[in-house]
Structure 1
Amino acid sequence: MKWKKIGNILILDNKFIVQSDKQLKELSDKHKVKTVMKVDHIHGTKREPVIKLLYGEDTETINKENGCLFKLDLKKVMWSKGNNNERIRIAKLVEDNETVIDMFAGIGYFSIPIGVHSNAKQVYSIEINPNSFHYLKENIKLNKINNIIPLLGDCMDITPEYSADRIIMGYVKTTHHYLKTAIDSLNKGGVIHYHETVPEKLMDTRPINRIKEVAGDRSVEFLKLNKVKKYSPGVFHVVCDARIN
């Protein structure tokens, strides 16, 4: 049986067949959780989960990861456990006094580790989903961070109002539509972390070529392609790091 534990909530794989209430109570006791649930799917551009409660009622929890605290309601916002290494990797890359734009910030998946583990000058965290934005603000307070500015709205509209030394594009499927907006706001010599879901045979070419195409006359230095996880058969979630002058 596949499962993941987020705070004191257990999320079961959709293939798991529930046989009885007793079985759910035993799972709850074994894993020391208050709620057992399934996530049917993640819906729309606001990444809203569609869930099925199996045991318990409370879907709000606090998850600890990489020395950071994340408060969230799993009925309202998503949590991807498979991205934890990527979240701390980016935080460790941020240099002293950098200004960072975190597009698609969610509840602070990347912003909070940056605030906790780096000496960034300023982090602009942009999120369109009001529920995620609520928990982004909660997590800034929870972790006692004072260099993150949360911004509610569409990245396409808000990003051009700022400039940054590093821009994180932690979204998939349609991220390439936002590349021009991101690159236009990136300072000369700045670094972009561009997330994409890509067929395995195109991993080494498509992400960086998309960045180069949008960058136009600006020179692009490829830094790294980081494989985050398998997204679907033959398709991977990757992050392309590139410096743009």
Structure 2
Amino acid sequence: MSFKQKLADKTGLPLKALPSSYQKIGDTILIKLFGEAARQKKKISEAILEMFPYIKTVCSIKGISGECREPVVELIAGDKNTITIHKEHGCLFKLDVRKIMFSKGNLSERRRLVGQVGPGETIVDMFAGIGYFSIGIAKNTKAKKIYAIEKNPVSFGYLKENIKLNKIKNIKPVLGDCRDVKIKEKADRIIMGYFPGTERFLPTALSFLKDSGIIHYHNIYKENELWKKPLEELKKAADKNSYSIKVLKKKKVKSVAPHMYHIVMDCLCKRKNYK
């Protein structure tokens, strides 16, 4: 029986009014509620707590706000403490769901990236958040060093906690805007896990890179812009910074709106005249 049908049976509300999915983060469930469901949020959330005895809190997610992509979340039932520990791919992530985004839509991309990293690599994660990419790479690869840069002080605090929680030694957390950060050594691989407007940060990404290395470029594009516009942006930035660029892989990570996609492109970048 589907989640939606179970909710209907528990609440007596019509199927069409109920959410069809949910996101579990640690011992918290996040749901999106509209119309009649929003008006019946207490009944729905209490039903969810009955359906999942191990869940302590139910929240409604209403959107994302600001440059640091902070969630707009309302606690609607259960424990008022919204700090939880989420487990993924053998990693632990501590966060407050009312202050920090954690997208299940990026799950496969986090897993995929781990498989790309070779032994001895130096990596710069330009938008590290609470360690979404960096923690998994550090725990599951033989990367030499990961510089995890984060601008948001709240996310940075959880990043440091998660490094300790996972007993990781090869991540260097750096607080600040990646455009202002100075890193002494050049990187084999750059992770640009941020959107929208990621193209603004390409010159910074290239400045962190060795004469030859990989950039994982994330951004949002309309369907009719794929894949011409992102390639033009990448080539423009590469040319201005004396690099050539070759796309190794391109993929849609998830849909973020009708005909609008979060995409990633793996790009091999080489400094011109580099052999």
Letter in 2 for 1:218: Y
**Larger Rg over CA atoms:** 2
Q: Which residue is 2:29 aligned to?
A: 10
Give structure 1 stretches of 5+ with no counterpart: none
What is the aligned-residue identity percentage?
46
In the aligned structure 2, how far is the partner of 1:104 from the partner of 1:195? 11
> Structure 1 residues 92, 159: CA separation in 2 closer, same or farther (over 3 Å shift)?
farther
In the aligned structure 1, how far is the partner of 2:24 from the partner of 2:49? 11
Is contact 2:87–2:93 with CA below 8 Å preserved after alignment?
yes
Deviations 1:92-133 (A, max 9, x none): 101100000001100000001101111000000000111100
Deviations 1:57-115 (A, max 9, x none): 11011111112111100111111110011011111101100000001100000001101
Q: Which residue is 1:52 aligned to?
A: 74
Letter in 1 for 2:218: H
TM-score normalised to structure 1 length:
0.95
> Structure 1 residues 21, 42: CA separation in 2 closer, same or farther (over 3 Å shift)?
closer
Q: Bigger shift: 157-166 or 225-234?
A: 157-166
> Structure 1 residues 199, 64: CA separation in 2 closer, same or farther (over 3 Å shift)?
same
Letter in 2 for 1:11: L
Q: Which residue is 2:228 aligned to?
A: 205
Query: Which residue among 178, 182, 204 is the counterpart of 2:205?
Result: 182
Is contact 1:227–1:236 with CA below 8 Å preserved after alignment?
yes
Question: Shift of the alpha carbon at 1:159?
Answer: 5.4
Deviations 1:20-70 (A, max 9, x none): 645422311212311111122211112222211101211011111112111
Give structure 2 stretches of 5+ with no counterpart: 1-18, 271-275
Letter in 2 for 1:26: A
Q: Which residue is 1:222 aligned to?
A: 247
Higher relative contact order (CA 8 A, sep 6+): 1
Deviations 1:190-218 (A, max 9, x none): 00000010111222222222111111132
In the aligned structure 1, how far is the partner of 2:44 from the partner of 2:102? 25
TM-score normalised to structure 2 length:
0.85
Question: Shift of the alpha carbon at 1:160?
Answer: 5.8
Deviations 1:139-191 (A, max 9, x none): 11111111000000101111565521000000011111000111122112200
Letter in 2 for 1:205: K
In the aligned structure 2, how far is the partner of 1:159 from the partner of 1:84? 30
- Structure 1 segment 116-135 matched on structure 2, within 5 A: 116-135=139-158
In the aligned structure 2, how far is the partner of 1:238 from the partner of 1:153? 25
Letter in 2 for 1:19: Q
Letter in 1 for 2:230: P
Where in structure 1 do 4 or more consecutive aligned residues deviate above 6 Å? none
> Structure 1 residues 20, 184: CA separation in 2 closer, same or farther (over 3 Å shift)?
closer
